[in-house]
Amino acid sequence: MSARTFAQTSVELIPTAGYTFASRTDFYDTYGRIADGLSYGGSIKFNVNRSFGIEVLYSHMNTTSDLYSAYDGSWLQGGNLQLDYILAGPVESFTIPNSTVRPFVGALLGAAILTPDANSGFSSDTRFAVGFQLGTNIYISPRVGIQLKAQLLSPVDGAGGGFYFSNYGSGGGIDTYSSIYQFSLSGGLIIGLGRVLPEQIFRPHPRRRYYRYY
C-alpha cells in the first residue's frame, strides 16, 4: 500500500458506539450502583499534524441508578438515569513503521450532566468531569478508518487545594476526588474531512566523526 494510505486529514468526524461497565460507590451503610449498558456518541478531532490533535467528545448513556443496603443488599431507592458527557482534550498519536495502525492516548476535561427520571423527585446535576482514553486507529485510506478504544470517564464530586510559603519558598496544589468511574470499550468509524496532512520527515542528527591521532 502506498505511503499516502498512512495519512490523516486535518479534521476527523468519528461516530462511536460501545459498552459501559457498571460502577459501584460505597457509603457508610449503603452503596450505590450505576448499571452497565450501551453508550453512543462521537467526536470531532482537529489534527495539528499526524502526531497531535485536539478532540471534542460527546457521550450519551441511558441506564439506571440504584441505592442498596450494605447490610443485607436490599433495594432502597433508584430509577432511570441519563448520563451525558461533553469533553475536550489533547490526543497524541504514534506511528508504526509500514503499518496502517496508529495507536493513540488522550486526556479529557469537560462536564457531565446527570439527569434522573422525572418521577424520581430529583433534579438534574451538572458536574466538572475528567477522562482518559487509549486505543488505535486503523486507516483504510486517508479519509476512512476504524477506531477501537478504551475510555474512563468520571464526574468530579469535589476539589480541594492549599497554598504555603516559608523562608525556603512557596507552593500550592489542587486535588480532585470522585465516587463514580465509568469504564467503556467502543468502536467507531473515522470519516476524514479537510485536507490530507503532509508527511512528517524526521531528520537524524549528523553522525559525529571521531579521529584518532598517533
What confidence tens digit (pLDDT) does each residue in 148-188 have?
A: 999 999 998 644 434 444 444 444 444 444 578 999 999 99
Q: Rounded to an integer, what distance in angstroms lies between the CA atom of residue 179 and that of residue 60?
A: 19
In this predicted structure, the answer to whether residue 3 has a pLDDT above a threshold of 60 is no
Mean pLDDT over residues 135-150, rounded? 94
Contacts of 124 (CB under 8 A, 6+ apart): 113, 114, 115, 116
| Domain residue spans of the chain | 3-196
In order of 155, 164, 175, the CA distances from 158 in angstroms are: 9, 21, 9
Range from 67-71, 126-130, 209-213 that averages highest in pLDDT:
126-130
Residue 61: the pLDDT is 95
Residue 1 has pLDDT above 80, yes or no: no
Whole-number Å distance between alpha carbons of 10 and 126: 32
pLDDT over 70 at 7, yes or no: no
Cα–Cα distance for residue pair 33/28, rounded to 1 Å: 14
How many Cα atoms are found within 13 Å in the side-chain-facing hemisphere of 68? 16
For residues 136 and 141, give the distance between their C-alpha atoms in angstroms, rounded to a whole number: 15
Between vectors from CA 83 to CA 79 and to CA 89, what angle results, nearest 5°? 160
CA dihedral of 49, 60, 132, 30, whole degrees rounded to 10:
170
**β 23-26/30-34 pair status:** antiparallel
| CATH code of the domain made up of 3-196 | 2.40.160.20
d(CA 80, CA 100): 42
Q: Which residue has the higher pLDDT, 185 or 122?
A: 185
Give the pTM. 0.80
Confirm if 69 and 48 have CB atoms less than 8 A apart.
Answer: no
Query: How many residues belong to the chain?
Result: 214
Distance CA 17, CA 183 (A): 13
80 or 206: whose pLDDT is higher? 80
Q: Which residues pair with 171 in a beta bridge?
A: 164
Grouping H, G, I as helix, E, B as strand and the rest as coil, residue 120 is helix
**Tell me, what's the pLDDT at 186?**
97
Question: How high is the mean pLDDT of the chain?
Answer: 82
What percent of the chain lies above the pLDDT cut of 90? 49
Q: pLDDT (tens digit, 9 = 90+) per residue, 71-94?
A: 887 888 888 889 999 999 999 999
112 strand-pairing partners: 85, 127
The cell for 184 is: 467503556
Please tell me the predicted confidence (pLDDT) of residue 167.
43
| pLDDT tens-place string over residues 34-71 | 899 999 999 999 999 888 999 999 999 999 988 888 88
Q: How far is it, in rounded angstroms, from Cα 99 to Cα 95? A: 8
Q: Which residue type sits at 184?
A: S
The reported pLDDT for the residue numbered 214 is 47
Check residue 111 and give its pLDDT.
95
